Chain A
């Protein structure tokens, strides 16, 4: 295998990774390249053309409407869990430090219900293949928009709607935060290695 072939494979894998193609599928496509080139005596460039364009055609269908809907739904439930977690902890701890009762306000319910929806609509509108690497920026933007929105909601709709034991609210908050952080804590994606279908091991 020459250096040019290695560079082709690297560019191919990188583009598939950016398009969030699972490691097992990447391994399958790489093994096909190996087998086809061994049979035909061609280089990957000759047989498959430009690696980025070939990766795009292998990944097509993964970034169609279904994948987009899945990403938007994920943004919605993670966003809801994160906001319920943050609001729950904030309100719960404030209450626990005071008289042990947490006051739930209309603003909090509206924030928890509406902000994640806005987030999901934004994701559906702007998310494109390969944007996984911009995730930290997206999260920062979500916070930059979400925090002022939560403060504004508090000023606009301060009405109390319920008084609940503070400890219960803290527990709900911790639970919701755990749900929001689960994709990170469980290390999903980090262990998605490229598996060679011929040997069943990572390559």
Chain B
């Protein structure tokens, strides 16, 4: 699953939802979020994509951020879901479920081909 190259527009469409989903497990920092996305098989999400997205989520009030000193390193910026962020995640998760269900009504399942 790790070496799949997803069509770019799929990732763009679902990345925000996935980042909100990662943050639902607790506050964490950018590189760890990228790691979780890679682990889930979504591929390498570059900093250049991830941080503008996080800044956008923060601007919409769905996420807050704070800096924590690191041992020897330059410190890390932790991102956390706000109450509005949790609400938004639940709403989008419901939408996503309906979206995927709708897609499966049109796309033949590979095993049924």
Contact with A along B46-69 (1 / 0, CB 8 A): 111001100110010000000101
Chain A residues, CB < 8 A from B102: none
Query: Contact residue range for chain B?
Result: 20 to 34
In the complex, per-residue mask of B30-49: 1 if CB is within 8 Å of any chain A CB, else 0: 11001000000000001110
Q: Which residues of the other chain, A, contact B73 by a CB distance below 8 angstroms?
A: 35, 38-39
Interface segment out of the listed B7-15, B74-82, B86-94, B105-113:
B74-82
Interface of A is mostly: helix
Cβ 8 A contact of A36, one of B31, B52, B55, B67: B31
A113 to B31, CA, bound (A): 55
Cα A38 to Cα B31 in complex, Å, equals 10
A87-131 near B? 1/0 per residue, CB < 8 Å: 000000000000000000000000000000000000000000000
Are A36 and B47 also in contact (CB < 8 A) when A58-B52, A60-B52 are? Answer: yes
B52 A57 Cβ-Cβ under 8 A: yes
* Residue from the list A32, A48, A54, A61 in contact with B77, Cβ < 8 A: A32
Assess the B69–A36 pair: CB atoms within 8 A.
no
B77 / chain A contacts, CB cutoff of 8 Å: 31-32, 35, 197
Residue of A nearest to B30 (CB): A36
Contacts A40-B31, A47-B46 given: A32-B51 contact, CB under 8 Å? yes
B34 to chain A, nearest CB (A): 8
A159 to B30, CA, bound (A): 67
**Do the beta carbons of B75 and A48 come within 8 Å of each other?**
no
Instruction: Return the CB mask of A18-59 against B: 1 if under 8 Å, else 0.
Output: 000000000001011111111110100001110001100110
Given contacts A32-B30, A36-B30, contact A197 B46 (CB under 8 A): no
**Judging by beta carbons under 8 Å apart, are B29 and A35 in contact?**
yes
What CA separation (Å) do A58 and B53 show in the bound complex? 9
Q: Is the CB of B48 within 8 A of A198?
A: no
Task: Let me know if B74 and A48 touch, CB within 8 A.
Answer: no
- Structural contact, A39 and B29, CB atoms closer than 8 A: yes
Tell me the nearest residue of chain A to B72, going by C-beta. A38
Across the interface, name the chain A residue whose C-beta is closest to B59. Answer: A61
Contact B31 A39 (CB under 8 A): yes
Nearest 5 interchain pairs by C-beta: A39-B31, A47-B47, A48-B48, A34-B74, A36-B47
Q: List 15 A-B contacts (CB under 8 A).
A: A31-B77, A32-B47, A35-B70, A36-B51, A38-B70, A39-B73, A40-B34, A42-B47, A47-B46, A47-B48, A48-B46, A49-B46, A49-B48, A58-B51, A198-B69
Interface, chain A (partner B; CB < 8 A)? 29, 31-40, 42, 47-49, 53-54, 57-58, 60-61, 197-198
